[in-house]
């Protein structure tokens, strides 16, 4: 199996496997689904963390308003009494006024946060050298959906971003997240400075060796070729600078030292070899 290390820019994303005879159309579709799916998992995990801290989202017409403004405008959250977390709610005010403040208790919060960590670990496997699949992304979303159902068995309001994400009705217009998502028909794969064209097979670029490992980069159509990575990484550059600094310090000390200081060294003793043959080396004089 061919192993592909997928990157976006200089940032590692995930590992995926394929075969040399795989059509690039199918491979691009697979990589795009995993990439966008991981972004969805990250968005849901972020929202669930907020849910665990401050409860469900307020209706759009109440978000960002102060309590006085809500009273003055005679607004009411009709979902507040319906969406009560299991085990009762604990009031934790949302300072930015986005959520109603009726958060789950510590036990239910722990259920949500533990699932968030498990879901993130399931789709972030580059360091563990584990390849991610579309099924793993779906499993991570199912785990998150199950945790939310445990804490909120009655469900979330239709305007809550978590529910909208689960129902694929999220609106990312005007958000930073919208810039990260790549539609499948606009996704390009680049390798070795070349775009891997749809309609061809992977073997047209890398040959027929199934044990090949390569780094490919995701790029949005129309954005040109991705920037080449530097020959030396940041960590390698730091080590090189550290070595250079140490070397400079050593040379500086040698320059400051006296020219005849070497005469005090054992290796500069002309009689050392003769004394060694005579068995007189390492002899010390003094009282016992």
Is the same domain home to 137 and 248?
Answer: no
Show the domain range for 265.
234-277
CA distance 167 to 182: 19
Q: Encode pLDDT of 189-224 as tens digits.
A: 999 888 999 999 999 999 998 899 999 999 998 888
User: Is 85 strand, coil or helix?
Assistant: coil
Does some domain include residue 112?
A: yes
Quote the percentage of the chain above a pLDDT of 90. Answer: 50
Structure confidence at residue 287 as a pLDDT band (50, 70, 90): low
Q: pLDDT digit string (tens) for 156-175?
A: 999 999 999 999 999 888 88
Q: Are residues 203 and 119 in the same domain?
A: yes
Q: What angle do CA 54, 58, 59 make, to 5 degrees?
A: 170
Within this chain, do residues 144 and 212 fall inside the same structural domain, yes or no?
yes
How many beta carbons lie within 10 A of that of residue 165, not counting itself? 20
Backbone angles phi, psi at 4, to 5 degrees: -110, 125
Distances (CA, A) of 120 to 17, 43, 166, 188: 20, 11, 16, 25
Which stretch of 40-54, 187-201, 228-242 has the lowest confidence by average pLDDT? 228-242
The 10s digit of each residue's pLDDT in 2-43 is 999 999 988 889 999 999 999 999 999 999 999 999 999 999
d(Cα 41, Cα 14) in Å, to the nearest integer? 14
Q: Do residue 253 and residue 204 come from a single domain?
A: no
DSSP string for residues in 255-281? HHS-TTGGGGSGGG-TTHHHHHHTT-T
Residue 73: CA count within 13 A, CB half-sphere: 12
198 and 246 share one domain: no
Contact status, residue 16 vs residue 132, Cβ threshold 8 Å: yes
Cβ–Cβ < 8 Å for 39, 14: no
Specify the pTM.
0.76
Number of domains in the chain: 2
pLDDT for residue 25: 94
């Amino acid at each position: 199996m061919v192993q592909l290390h997928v990157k976006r820019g200089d940032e590692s994303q995930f590992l995926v496997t394929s075969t040399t005879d795989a059509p690039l159309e199918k491979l691009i579709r697979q990589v795009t689904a995993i990439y966008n799916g991981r972004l969805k998992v990250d968005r849901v995990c972020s929202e669930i963390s907020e849910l665990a801290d401050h409860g469900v989202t307020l209706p759009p017409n109440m978000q960002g308003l102060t309590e006085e403004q809500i009273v003055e405008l005679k607004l009411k959250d009709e979902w507040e009494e319906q969406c009560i977390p299991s085990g009762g709610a604990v009031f934790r005010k949302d300072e930015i006024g986005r959520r109603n403040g009726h958060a789950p208790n510590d036990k239910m919060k722990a259920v949500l946060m533990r699932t968030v960590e498990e879901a993130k670990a399931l789709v972030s496997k580059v360091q563990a050298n584990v390849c991610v699949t579309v099924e793993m992304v779906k499993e991570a979303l199912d785990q998150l959906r199950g945790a939310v159902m445990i804490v909120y068995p009655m469900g979330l309001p239709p305007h809550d971003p978590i529910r909208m994400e689960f129902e694929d009705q999220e609106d990312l217009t005007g958000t930073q997240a919208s810039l990260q998502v790549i539609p499948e028909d606009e996704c390009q794969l680049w390798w070795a400075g070349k775009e891997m064209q749809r309609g061809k097979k992977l073997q047209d670029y890398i040959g027929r060796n199934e044990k090949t490992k390569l780094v490919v980069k995701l790029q949005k159509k129309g954005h040109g070729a991705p920037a080449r990575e530097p020959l030396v990484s940041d960590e390698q550059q730091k080590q090189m600078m550290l070595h250079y600094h140490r070397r400079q310090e050593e040379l500086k000390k040698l320059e400051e030292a006296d020219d005849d200081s070497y005469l005090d060294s054992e290796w500069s003793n002309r009689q050392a070899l003769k004394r060694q043959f005579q068995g007189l080396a390492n002899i010390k004089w003094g009282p016992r």
